A and B are shown apart, each in its own frame.
Chain A
Amino acid sequence: MAIDQELYRPPPPVTPPEGGSWRQRVIPWWPHPNILTGILLGAGGYALGHFLGNVIAGNWARFGNTNMNDVALIIGYLVATLGFLVGIGALNYPVAKIFGLDPPLAKAAPRGLSRYFAYTPDHKVVGWQYLIGMLIYFFTGGMFALAIRTELLFPRYHSHIFNPETYLTIVGIHGTMMMMMMTSVIVGPFGNYFVPLMIGAKRMAYPRLEALSFWLTPPAYIILLSTMLVGGFPTGWTGYAPLANEAVQGMDGYEVAFALMALSLIITSVNMIATIVDFRAPGMRWTRLPMFVWGALTTSVLTALAPPVLFAGLYFMGMDRTVGTALFVDAHGGSSYLWENVFWFFGHPEVYILALPGFAIAAELLPVFTRRRLFGYNVSAAGMIGVCFMSWFVWQHHLFVSGINADMRPLFMLTTEVISIPTGFIYLVAMATLWKGKLRFEVPSLFVLAFYLNFLIGGVSGVFLSDVPVDVTVHGSFFVQAHFHYTIMGGLIFAFFGAIYYWIPKMTGYEMNKTLGWIHFWVMFIAFQLTFIPLFIVGELGMPRRYFEYAPKWATLNQTASAGAYAIAISMIIFVINLVYSMVWARKRSVENPWFSRGLEWQTATPPPPDNFERIPLVLSHPYDYGNPIEDIPVADLRGVPTPAVLAASAAGVSGGSDEIDDPPGPGAGPGDRGGEQ
């Protein structure tokens, strides 16, 4: 028997030292790193950085003439971020280790509500931080969307709600908030929270990196919003040079915020890949990996490889704007194509970073609600891997009319259309899983069905865009805008809300109100169609993106879209009311496994205990074997200690093969390996 029973010894109990909790014993609360010290040091860091920047570049003529010292602002942002991270305690552990000391204040890990505002290596707390953070970022971005739709209520020759440059900043912040901050919208909250639970691990591979990945996002958020105070940025989220070189100081905020977010994504993905590869419980073979974990893995491969390219591009842009290189300035030997290529080489994998988690959530939830074995497990995983792979070969379809590589357009037309083959796998799996299932219409399953219907429209309209002659007409128009809102908002965000309704009972132990959830879904679903179908039409009729005014003949369509946008906002208010009502006011206890899911995360206690599982579970069968009439094997043995009978059952399991229990336990399976402790 390859399994060392010693490994399944329960971890030693962790007791506070004599005389009460650690906090009282060791140190008062205030010198402990917390969010207030973070903010304080962040502000101080900004002042210091700004001062340094003025020392360095204060007497440069061009900064004097423009009244805008980009060097001071960028250094200010960077030192502020560093100060914030120091203040929140991110560097305590590594610095202490460098000097061979015990990390200061390590035992005073905060408990209770305050740990959600702290730098903590507990993957479930980080998951919560991500969830609340992402909701805040999403609603902030949504406010900017409302501002856009308000400005577009009226056509040309009408007075304006916002100044045109303010409007462009609003468009830019909406786009950047949604495409940059929201990139982690599923892998951040649900990836960090549920991947260890789903693969039977006690923690993520690098808990401190995990905390760092989250705590880089608030500075990015603040810096992005602060661009409004220094004149905004005119480029939208794509940041095209040389317009970005012309722009005022707001552009610096875009660069730094995007770079911080890129860093956060790289860190998240390294952690995610290491966890999934190394920390799977015994018996969690690659062929038993839940679909959500496949999605997290493929997304992480993209987020590990794509953001460094963006990082380089942002570095070029920062150099152009501060020290005066001319990488994007044609007159001095640069090229405007350089940014376009670098950005989209990141940007197209990026949009699949936003699509794959949606596929994963949908494939994960659908079998639970159809009560039927997931059709084509391998095809489903292959679809995600195929999309992940192909997404590197399509970026030039953003440049079909730019005049670069005109003879390469058929190739990129082909690659872009070929990527719809693996995407089609996702639909094959969904349609065949629905077939002769017993679909239950719970709130999460409604969101999943809506995901498939919306993403279908988004995906099919994507084929239109990949066709060069059609792209000549619709490129850069509202057609494109409607297309990617169907894939990202209609796809990813619907999946995100489905995941919230599905997993919140697990995360809190309380039920979400079903009626309010039902209202939320239908208002959001109908309002979403109302918003974006008219935008397909105005785009096809010739309205370009990012226009602050438009021909009067398009007023009705635009006003319909605006009405839809307000209705989406109402659905979001209903969601917030539901969340607050269900979690704070009603607090109705959820049953242990309300969806009767076979997922490993549902087998442990609700809400999950600090170490997820009392023992590392032994995974016995496939997570989607619903309604197996022949032998109903439980998904895992939570007792951890494999008895001969269990092992025999496992060996005779559905997937067969005797090697499965010979999988060596991952590093996460070690006794007393309490990742939650610093």
Chain B
Amino acid sequence: MADAALTPAAPAQREPHHFARIFIIWLVATAIADILIWFFLYPHLAPGRLTSSAHGDQYDMTVLLMCAAPVLFAVWLWFGYSCIYFSNRGTVPEDGAWYERDSVAIQVSWIAITSLIVFGLFVFGTYELIAPAGAGGGEGPSAIWRPPGAPSSSYAALHPKPWKPGSHPALLEVQVIGQQWLWTFRWPQFGGMETTSLYLPTNTTIQFNVTSLDVIHSFWPYRLGVKADANPGVNNVAYTTTTGQTHSFTYRCDELCGIWHGDMIGTGHVVSQAAFYRWATTEEKKLAPLTRHLPPYSLTYTPSLHGAGGGLYPQLDKPTPKSTGS
């Protein structure tokens, strides 16, 4: 956007080169900001680097911030500069410069530059979505962007290979069940047991199969860089790979689900593979009396409506097995 392109109708007095001034300040400010973002903000930026998808989200966020900084500075500087140099603080209005025609060059270059940024960001975002296997977002029942070793069909997901500690452990399937207002977890590789606590092994690719028993929830273990809506009757798959670091993380519900939405949280733990295996096998034994009462492992569940919620659709409910209270 050369200043000269805005051809004034009347010959102007000798003026400072406003555009060059703004450009130089902008260049310096942008360079400083981008250096600060890359070297100081990036390592600390949420959601951290504890899983592959979290690191990917962090990297994306950083790149976007580095693209946003020049845009913000350009507009702020332009507005600030205009407010100082192209203003009239007197009481009598004066006319600004007159331009007979709007410069086509400016308009075309503006459109070109913004389009370039936008399409660049699109290509970058798409790459960052596809390459790291869906970037931790929920991909629905049949994920098309999968990490290596992920089951490619519902049948394979229902019958996963057993999980054992090792240098290249098998993919770990964790079913996440949202219900008003608690999260529970089922483990198809450990006898289909269901726990209320969440432990994950290090250095393992994890497939979260997220579903809901009632309304829409959203499973958000923030530091794992995973978010997947829990829809009733839908298996929503999300992938991530843990690093070698052990840590604790909070998982929350991210979709308004009723009175205790704000307290539908819990703490999960990433522990060493051996510790995880110990925990899982112990729990499997301990929970055996409970597991008997659970329905067989499945990717979605439709709880019987013969409880108190029955009666809303009486003609569609299964026959009530026995008399119920209120």
Contacts and interface: CB of A to CB of B under 8 A. Distances in A.
Q: Do A and B touch directly, given a CB cutoff of 8 Å in the complex?
A: yes
Nearest to B302: A331
B10 interface: yes
Contacts of A436: 6, 8, 86, 96-97
A329 B316 CA distance: 12
Interface in A619-667: 626-630
Interface string B94-112: 1111111010001100110
Interface residues of A, number: 101
Contacts of B225: 472-473
A435 interface: yes
Q: Shortest 6 CB-CB distances between A and B: which pairs?
A: A627-B95, A372-B96, A403-B236, A437-B96, A330-B233, A547-B262
B163 interface: no
B232 A440 contact: no
B49 interface: no
B287 interface: no
B102 A376 contact: yes
Contact of A627 (B56, B60, B98, B229): B98
A165 interface: yes
A418 B111 CA distance: 11
A467 B312 CA distance: 41
Interface stretch (B117-125, B150-158, B188-196): B117-125
Nearest to B75: A456
B276 interface: no
Nearest to A459: B71
A473 B96 CA distance: 46
B261 interface: yes
29 contacts: A167-B262, A240-B215, A240-B256, A243-B257, A324-B312, A330-B234, A331-B316, A337-B234, A370-B86, A371-B95, A373-B98, A376-B107, A402-B236, A417-B121, A428-B107, A431-B78, A438-B93, A439-B86, A441-B87, A453-B75, A453-B79, A463-B121, A468-B125, A469-B125, A470-B61, A472-B136, A542-B250, A544-B254, A627-B97
A234 B136 contact: no
Contacts, number: 311
Contacts of A65: 311
Nearest to A430: B79
Interface in A555-585: none
A501 B136 CA distance: 48
A284 interface: no
Given A246-B214, A337-B231, A439-B82, 7 more contacts: A240-B256, A332-B316, A372-B95, A401-B229, A406-B137, A406-B144, A542-B250
Contacts of A164: 259-260, 262
Contacts of A399: 229
Given A463-B121, A468-B125, A435 B229 contact: no
A317 to B, nearest CB: 14
B83 A439 contact: yes
A431 B102 contact: no
B302 A464 contact: no
A432 interface: yes
Interface in A572-629: 596, 626-629
B262 A336 contact: no
Nearest to A404: B140
B259 A246 contact: no
B263 A549 contact: yes
Given A164-B262, A431-B78, A469-B56, A421 B128 contact: no
Contacts of A403: 138-141, 210, 228-229, 231, 234, 236-237
Interface string A411-455: 001100110110011011001101111111100000001001100
B320 interface: no
B30 interface: no
A449 B83 CA distance: 9
Nearest to B232: A330
Contact of B220 (A156, A544, A550): A544
A50 interface: no
Contacts of A439: 82-83, 86-88
A165 B78 contact: no
Contacts of A404: 140
Contacts of B253: 544
Nearest to A413: B125
A485 interface: no
A540 interface: yes
Contacts of A464: 61, 64, 68
A353 to B, nearest CB: 23
Interface string A523-545: 00000000000000000111011
Interface in B8-49: 8-10, 18, 45-47
B96 A62 contact: no
Contact of A626 (B96, B126, B215): B96
B143 interface: yes
B57 interface: yes
Nearest to B143: A406
Contacts of A438: 86-88, 93-96
B76 A453 contact: yes
B236 to A, nearest CB: 3
Nearest to B258: A234
A472 B87 contact: no
A468 B93 contact: no
A358 B152 CA distance: 48
A186 interface: no
Given A371-B88, A401-B218, A402-B229, A235 B313 contact: no
A456 B229 contact: no
Nearest to A434: B82
A65 B121 CA distance: 55
B93 A61 contact: no
A331 B232 contact: yes
Contact of B232 (A242, A420, A427): A242
A3 to B, nearest CB: 29
A76 B155 CA distance: 51
Contacts of A240: 215-216, 255-256
B222 interface: yes
Interface string A214-236: 00000000000000000000111
Contacts of B227: 401, 472-473, 475-476
Contacts of A165: 259
A474 B232 CA distance: 23
A379 interface: yes
B114 interface: yes
Given A404-B140, A424-B110, A627-B96, A440 B88 contact: yes
Contacts of A546: 256, 261-262
Among A402, A418, A449, max chain B CB count under 10 A is at A402
A379 B232 CA distance: 46
A431 B75 contact: yes
A511 interface: no
A336 B96 contact: no
A326 B137 CA distance: 29
A289 interface: no
Nearest to B104: A376
A541 B234 contact: no
A368 to B, nearest CB: 9
A330 B144 CA distance: 24
Contacts of B10: 629
